[in-house]
């Protein structure tokens, strides 16, 4: 049963998710391109991570006590920058530089460019093994922070992911939380057609992980999954499998032919923003 | 909420799907995919494998034409290369495609041990070679030639344009053994048809003569070299261009013959780090033969390259036509 405070929390996080979607569309408009289908689909997860679950200091992105967030799927940078803006780590007007020469916001996420970007992702399948090392390091230092590895479903194809999955369980990394965006999309088509990875929850469980699979666009479910992952008392790594819808929140993009690089015409960015504004206005 | 600032035109970071063709340039669409389909009609042993990048390497054309001979390996480059090796052991001729960074860096040990060490008949055709994307080091294969050259028995090919690719496909199939070929995909410039040119594996080819400078180049830098040669005519600088599409084995005979003609500045131009590519290969060949012309390299720096728009980056690192022409003039002054 939803309490009143639950309802307040959902409404607050839905507002954050709306703003993340809006920032992403504005960056897409700046470049005339971008992985905006992924950003819209993953915005709810990012909102809960950055506006509910994680500890960090916006003005001190290297604070030793911060929870680490690894953007393994570097091409989701547009989504992640939007979350960093919403979290106050990056100034809003900086989005005007997205993808431009000498910007701090390159199209693929890189640690040396952007405050709050922990790793250079993009060579897919590297985040989870790095997260294992950081989680081991934090534990050795006695630092109670969590490591969140954020990855795409395409990265489930890489052997390195499963090497790390086994390693994390072997080392009992209870401070490691893996977030997987299952948007059923890869470069060559639907993920399940490119390389079948189901039954996914069973696989992670067999590897020794605490597994939750939820609708990544259901705010209540996303919040509950993060809370449960953080609260678990066992020394087990935790994975949350988020089924998401590419283009979520902008019906004409939700309906567009599914593609790794979704086509958006120049005039459609503003249309997308208008639709987001209208539906959020109605929700308030 | 949206700012009312006037929109200034800006250079956008080239997407991974971008073509390197300049505006107004003659092009051929998907020359690799088309050539492979044509060849596979004749050679039933050809199979195609990719790691979630068939659409981005033009291998999808092969997949459409021969669905039963096309194998999607998922985004798993180590599996891609090792499985290609396995199919070669069973008598097939796999063409394996991915991006150059992943085919070389991610899968290196699998290429080295599974494919090369047994001299298996695998043709690795890898897109986004050198600096052909603005996505930063994760996608920029600045060192792919160095890595592949270092493997014993590996044949390494860096084609210039659509014609080169079209003719290289049957030629690398004819060669028995592993081949690494750099791939240009999508709308690929067509240049060499104006030069009475034919691709021959292992052979360098003079495209134009010239008294002042000998430009030795491979890949898309041959296209740039030809443009530079034309541009410098106005300055009464006479530039010869020697195209070296096969990096290994190197056509040292032709290179030595051309470089030993006295009085010319010898410049090697490559879309690759100056470490371990064509420049160093040519320098070694020259010194070993006791030929010591004035020698210079136009190549990417030994550094992690920036992200940004491709034209900006080509200017910044000296491999655009304009930057090359400027550099050559300083050297000649
Ligand atoms: C190791 C590696 N191999 C290949 C690529 C090229 N690539 C970039 S995104 C992508 C699709 C991967 O699937 P996913 O991240 O789920 O795609 P999306 O949901 O964004 O469409 C591929 C193959 C890469 N970046 N890294
Ligand atoms: Mg996906």
CB-based contact A101 B309, cutoff 8 Å: yes
Nearest CA, atom 22, ligand 1: A187
Q: Averaged over A198-203, what is the pLDDT?
A: 98
Contact B73, B85 (CB under 8 A): no
How many angstroms does the Cα of residue B53 sit away from the middle of ligand 1?
8
pLDDT at B15 (0 to 100): 52
Helix axes B162-174, B31-42, angle to 10 degrees: 30
pLDDT at B72 (0 to 100): 98
Enumerate chain A positions whose Cβ falls within 8 A of a Cβ in B. Answer: 26, 30-33, 74, 93, 96, 99-102, 106-108, 110, 113, 120-125, 154-155, 157-159, 186-188, 193-195, 261, 273
- Please give the Cα distance from A29 to A228 (Å, whole number): 37
| Ligand 1 lined by A183 (C-beta under 6 Å) | yes
Does the pTM of the predicted model rise above 0.90?
Answer: yes
| Ligand 1 lined by B133 (C-beta under 6 Å) | no
pLDDT at A91 (0 to 100): 98
Residue B265 is classified by DSSP as: E
**How distant is the Cα of B327 from the closest Cα of chain A, in angstroms?**
23
> Residue A186: its chain B contacts at CB < 8 A?
52, 75
Q: How confident is the model at residue B18 (pLDDT cuts 50, 70, 90)?
A: low
In chain B, the domains with their CATH numbers are: 24-189 (3.40.50.970), 202-332 (3.40.50.920)
Is a pLDDT exceeding 60 seen at residue A61?
Answer: yes
Instruction: Kindly state the helix (H) or strand (E) to which residue A243 belongs, with its residue range.
Output: strand A238-243
How many angstroms does the Cα of residue A190 sit away from the middle of ligand 2?
8
Residues of B labelled as active-site residues? 77
pLDDT at B205 (0 to 100): 98
pLDDT at A3 (0 to 100): 64
pLDDT at B269 (0 to 100): 98
Handedness of CA A124, A129, A133, A135 (dihedral sign): positive
Tokens standing for residue B201: 């594996």
Q: How confident is the model at residue B10 (pLDDT cuts 50, 70, 90)?
A: low
CB-based contact B138 A110, cutoff 8 Å: yes
> Chain A contact for B135, CB < 8 A?
yes
pLDDT at B192 (0 to 100): 98
Q: Are strands A147-152 and A68-71 parallel, antiparallel or unpaired?
A: parallel
Percentage of chain B surpassing pLDDT 70?
95
pLDDT at B262 (0 to 100): 84
**Which residue is listed with tokens 């919403």?**
A86
pLDDT in tens, A109-119: 999 999 999 99
Which residue, A238, A163, A220, is CA-closest to A47? A220
Residue A153 CA: nearest ligand 1 atom is 16
Bridge partners, residue B180, by sequence: B124, B156
Question: How much is the ipTM here?
Answer: 0.96
Which ligand is the nearest neighbour of the Cα of B53?
1
CB-based contact A32 B12, cutoff 8 Å: yes
Task: DSSP for B170-213, please give it.
Answer: HHHHHS-S-EEEEE--SEEE--GGGGT----TT--EEEE--SSE
Q: Are strands B265-273 and B295-300 parallel, antiparallel or unpaired?
A: parallel
Contacts of B287 (CB under 8 A, 6+ apart): none
- Please give the Cα distance from B217 to B188 (Å, whole number): 18
Percentage of chain A surpassing pLDDT 70?
99
pLDDT in tens, B128-167: 999 999 999 999 999 999 999 999 999 999 999 999 999 9
pLDDT in tens, A143-162: 999 999 999 999 999 999 99
Which ligand is the nearest neighbour of the Cα of A157?
1
pLDDT in tens, A241-257: 999 999 999 999 999 98
How many angstroms does the Cα of residue A186 sit away from the middle of ligand 2?
5
Handedness of CA A77, A83, A89, A95 (dihedral sign): positive
Which ligand is the nearest neighbour of the Cα of B52?
1
Residue A155 is classified by DSSP as: G
Percentage of chain A surpassing pLDDT 90?
95
pLDDT at B190 (0 to 100): 98
Torsion angle, CA of B31/B37/B42/B48, rounded to 10 degrees? 110
Contacts of B9 (CB under 8 A, 6+ apart): none
Q: Averaged over B229-258, what is the pLDDT?
A: 98
Which residue, B42, B40, B21, is CA-closest to B30? B21
Instruction: Kindly state the helix (H) or strand (E) to which residue A11 belongs, with its residue range.
Output: helix A4-31
pLDDT in tens, A167-178: 999 999 999 999
CB-based contact B138 A108, cutoff 8 Å: yes
Q: How confident is the model at residue B234 (pLDDT cuts 50, 70, 90)?
A: very high
pLDDT at B1 (0 to 100): 35
Which residue, A104, A77, A101, A76, is CA-closest to A90? A104
pLDDT in tens, A2-47: 566 788 999 999 999 999 999 999 999 999 988 999 999 999 999 9
- Please give the Cα distance from A115 to A80 (Å, whole number): 11
Q: How confident is the model at residue B7 (pLDDT cuts 50, 70, 90)?
A: very low
pLDDT at B14 (0 to 100): 56
Average pLDDT, chain B: 95
pLDDT at B12 (0 to 100): 65
Q: How many CB pairs under 8 A join A and B?
A: 103
Nearest CA, atom 9, ligand 1: A187
pLDDT in tens, B24-82: 899 999 999 999 999 999 999 999 999 999 999 999 999 999 999 999 999 999 999 99
Q: Averaged over A203-221, what is the pLDDT?
A: 98
pLDDT at A258 (0 to 100): 87
Residue of chain B whose Cα is closest to the Cα of A152: B75
pLDDT at B302 (0 to 100): 98
**Chain A interface mutation, best of B76, B80, B127, B311, highest count of A Cβ atoms under 10 Å:** B76
Is a pLDDT exceeding 60 seen at residue B260?
Answer: yes
Average pLDDT, chain A: 96
Is a pLDDT exceeding 80 seen at residue B9?
Answer: no
Query: Quick one: A141 exposed, middle or buried, by C-beta within 10 A (0-12, 13-18, 19+)?
Result: exposed
């Amino acid at each position: 049963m939803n309490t009143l405070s639950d309802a307040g929390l959902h409404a607050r996080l839905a507002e954050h998710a709306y703003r993340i979607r809006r920032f992403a569309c504005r960056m897409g408009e700046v470049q005339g391109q971008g992985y905006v289908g992924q950003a819209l689909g993953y915005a709810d997860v990012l909102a809960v991570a950055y506006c509910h679950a994680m500890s960090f200091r916006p003005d001190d992105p290297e604070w030793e006590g911060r929870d680490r967030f690894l953007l393994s799927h570097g091409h989701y940078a547009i989504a992640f920058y939007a979350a960093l803006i919403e979290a106050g780590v990056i100034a809003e007007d900086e989005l005007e530089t997205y993808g431009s020469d000498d910007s701090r916001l390159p199209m693929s996420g890189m640690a040396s460019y952007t405050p709050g970007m922990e790793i250079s992702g993009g060579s897919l399948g590297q985040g989870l093994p790095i997260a294992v090392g950081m989680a081991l390091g934090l534990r050795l230092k006695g630092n109670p922070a969590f490591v969140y590895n954020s990855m795409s479903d395409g990265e489930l194809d890489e052997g390195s992911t499963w090497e790390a999955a086994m390693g994390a369980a072997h080392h009992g990394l209870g401070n490691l939380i893996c977030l997987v965006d299952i948007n059923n999309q890869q470069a060559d088509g639907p993920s399940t057609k490119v390389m079948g990875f189901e039954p996914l929850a069973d696989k992670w469980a067999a590897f020794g992980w605490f597994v939750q699979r939820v609708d990544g666009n259901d705010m209540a479910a996303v919040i509950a999954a993060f809370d449960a992952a953080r609260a678990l008392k066992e020394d087990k790594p935790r994975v949350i499998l988020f089924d998401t819808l590419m283009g979520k929140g902008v019906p004409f993009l939700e309906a567009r032919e599914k593609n790794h690089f979704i086509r958006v015409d120049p005039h459609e960015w503003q249309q997308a923003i208008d639709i987001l504004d209208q539906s959020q206005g109605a929700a308030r | 909420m949206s700012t009312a600032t006037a929109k200034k035109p800006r250079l956008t970071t080239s997407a991974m799907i971008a073509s390197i063709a300049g505006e107004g340039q003659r092009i051929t669409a998907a020359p690799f995919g088309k050539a492979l389909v044509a060849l596979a009609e004749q050679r039933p042993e050809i199979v195609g494998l990719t790691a979630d990048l068939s659409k981005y390497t033009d291998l999808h054309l092969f997949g459409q034409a021969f669905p039963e001979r096309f194998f999607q390996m998922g985004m798993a480059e180590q599996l891609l290369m090792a499985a290609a090796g396995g199919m070669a052991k069973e008598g097939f001729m796999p063409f394996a495609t991915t991006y150059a960074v992943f085919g070389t860096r991610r899968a290196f040990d699998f290429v080295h041990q599974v494919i090369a060490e047994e001299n298996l008949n695998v043709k690795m055709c890898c897109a986004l070679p050198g600096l052909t994307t603005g996505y930063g080091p994760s996608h920029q294969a600045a060192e792919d030639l160095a890595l592949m050259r270092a493997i014993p028995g590996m044949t390494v090919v860096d084609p210039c344009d659509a014609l080169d690719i079209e003719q290289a496909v049957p030629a690398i199939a004819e060669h028995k053994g592993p081949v690494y070929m750099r791939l240009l995909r999508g709308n690929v410039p067509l240049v060499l048809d104006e030069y009475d040119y034919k691709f021959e594996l292992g052979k360098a080819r003079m495209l134009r003569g010239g008294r002042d400078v000998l430009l030795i180049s491979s890949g898309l830098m041959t296209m740039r070299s030809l443009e530079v040669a034309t541009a410098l005519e106005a300055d009464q600088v006479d530039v010869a261009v020697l195209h070296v599409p096969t990096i290994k084995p190197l056509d040292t005979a032709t290179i030595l013959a051309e470089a030993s003609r006295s009085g010319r500045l010898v410049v090697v131009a490559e879309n690759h780090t100056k470490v371990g590519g064509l420049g160093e290969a040519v320098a070694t060949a020259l010194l070993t033969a006791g030929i010591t012309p004035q020698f210079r390299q136009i190549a990417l720096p030994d550094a992690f390259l920036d992200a940004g728009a491709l034209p900006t980056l080509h200017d910044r690192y000296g491999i655009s036509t304009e930057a090359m022409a400027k550099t050559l003039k300083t050297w000649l002054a």
